[in-house]
Every structure is written in structure tokens, then in C-alpha cells.
Amino acid sequence: MEAASSSSNRCSYSYDDYRETTDWLLSHTEQRPKVAIICGSGLGGLGDLLDNKTVFPYKDIPRFPTSTVPGHEGQLVFGSLRGRQCVCMQGRFHFYEGYNIHTVTYPVRVFFLLGVETLIVTNAAGGVNGSFNVGDIMLIKDHINMPGFAGQNPLCGHNDERFGVRFPCMSDAYDRDLIALAKHTAEEQGCGTFLQQGVYCMLAGPTFETIAECRLLQLLGADAVGMSTVPEVVVARHCGMRVLGLSLITNKVVTDYASVEKANHEEVLETTRRRTQDLQRLVSHLIAKI
């Protein structure tokens, strides 16, 4: 599927399009997942934990976009994790790839039609909060939707009531009970010493932030910054799904003009490799309790 123009805010998908993708998946697997996991850069190993897997490359799924970013495998994995049926996206879609905001969020509505009730989103993020360390895992308690401020909201355009209401609430975007459960699980699994909680800010990318932009994000109250997650969360909440968000802090943003540090994608992937097992352990034990 070709990337749609990012300048268009008109949704090019109908309910029947989402239904076509959903019906194809349902006809090719007996799994009926209640939990969906979206894996961020380098975090696709979460999908490898599933038992009794059925794997669909994105290119084989009708109407599904394809991922072009290193660290994103580009396949949908159905299976069970600790007895719970799940579907896992090994690789997500981004605004900066040239996809419009509706294409970025296409899989979330498919998950809803599959019967998914809980969405877990993970991402690699830069640490804006000065007290965060590289390798920390941040539970997302709230977000700042910068592209949304500029009119790039996935709910713009015609509203289909079969998915949700015209004006959905976002003050409860991240489920507080799931956050509490994740904290408890992290303590049990020995992850409590590097678990944080904070506000995630999404920028469109693909450039990393300037020093002035990082200072502005600190003033706005952001604790971490990245280029994904928020559009999927908005659509999931519109559909009534419960959402839990996890950011792996892969680098600290630069706020000092005297610094010679530079953010880069290789550093992001290296940090995820070091912390992957801890994040996988946390998510898998958490899913067993949902």
C-alpha cells in the first residue's frame, strides 16, 4: 500500500475497509485476541514471547500499511501469552514515513473489530525529565499531542458512530487501574528501581529535537518525547479500549549548548537491546493479570 499524503486530513478509509481487513484476519487464524500490543523501535521481541503463533507479514494483509523503519519487523503476530490470547504489531507506522494520520492508526480500528479490549503501546523515547536515566521504563500517565495542536488528529473528518462518539474524552486516556497493576507487577519482577511515571509528548519527526525545543518541552511539563504512540492511543480511546503506555528511555535529550552529545537512532536501538528482557518480563506478567 502506498503512503498517503501527510497533508491530507480527510480519512480515506470506510468502515467496510476496516471490516475487510478484519474478516480476512479472522478467516486466517482461530485466535480471538482481547489484548493488542504495539511494539516500538527495537521492541518487537515482545511478539516472540507468544506461543502457538500465527504470523502475517503486513504486505500480505489486505489494506494494511507497511513499516519502513529499522528496528520494525513489519508483521502481525497472533498467539497466546501466559494463557491470554494476544495480537502483537512488530513494527508500527509513523507520520514521518509519509503516511497520513489515518493510515498510521489503521490497525487500531482493526483491533477493535477483532474484539480487542486492552491496548498496550510501547515506544522508545528521549528523556526530557532530568531525573530520568537511560534504560528507565516510564509508565505514561498522560500525553501532549503536538501534531494534534496543528490539526493532525486521527479523529478529524467524518465520525462513524460504530467506532465511537464525536467528542471523546482524553483526560482518562491512560487507564489508572492498569498503571497501578503495572507498578505492582514491576515491583514483583524486580523492575521497580528503574520504573518511572510521566507525560509523553509526541512530535512529528523525523528530526530529533533542537536544544530550544527540548527546553520548551521541559517548560510544558513533558517527561519524555517521541514520534509515535499518541495517534494510536487517541483512536483506541475513541473505540472504548483500555490503554497502557510504556516508554523505554533510550537517550537523554540535549538542553545545553555546550554539550557535544547528539541523539541518533543507533543509540536508541542499542539501549532497547540492553533493556528488552526486563520490558518483556514486565509486559508478559502484566498481561497474565489483566
**pLDDT tens readout for residues 123-149:** 989 999 999 998 899 999 999 999 999
Q: Between β-strands 75-81 and 84-90, what pairing exists: parallel, antiparallel or unpaired? A: antiparallel
Helix and strand numbers, DSSP H then E, in the chain: 9, 9
7 is catalytic: no
Angle ∠(118,190,280) on CA atoms, nearest 5: 40
**pLDDT tens readout for residues 181-209:** 999 999 998 888 899 999 999 999 899 99
Domain segments of the chain: what residues? 15-289
Of the listed ranges 22-26, 178-182, 259-263, the one predicted with least confidence? 259-263
Pick the CATH number of 15-289 from 3.90.1720.10, 3.40.50.1580, 3.90.1210.10, 3.40.50.10140: 3.40.50.1580
With a cut of 80, say whether residue 41 has pLDDT above it. no
At 141, which helix (H) or strand (E)?
strand 137-145
Q: What is the mean pLDDT of residues 282-290?
A: 89
Grid cell 500499511 in the structure block, residue: 65
Give the distance, in angstroms, between the CA of residue 249 and the centroid of all CA atoms in the same chain.
Answer: 14
With a cut of 60, say whether residue 231 has pLDDT above it. yes
Of residues 105 and 260, the one with the higher pLDDT is 105
124 is catalytic: yes
For residue 69, name the pLDDT band (cuts at 50, 70, 90). Answer: low
270 is catalytic: no
The predicted structure's pLDDT at residue 6 = 40
**HSE on the CB side for 57, CA within 13 Å?**
4
The predicted structure's pLDDT at residue 10 = 60
What is the model's pTM?
A: 0.90
94 is catalytic: yes
Residue of 4, 6, 41, 106 with catalytic role: 41
Q: How far apart are CA 48 and CA 153, in angstroms?
A: 32
80 is catalytic: no
143 is catalytic: no
146 is catalytic: no
Measuring CA to CA, how many Å separate 189 from each of 123, 154, 178, 282?
20, 36, 16, 7
Residue of 97, 143, 209, 232 with catalytic role: 97
With a cut of 60, say whether residue 4 has pLDDT above it. no
Of residues 104 and 280, the one with the higher pLDDT is 104
97 is catalytic: yes
284 is catalytic: no
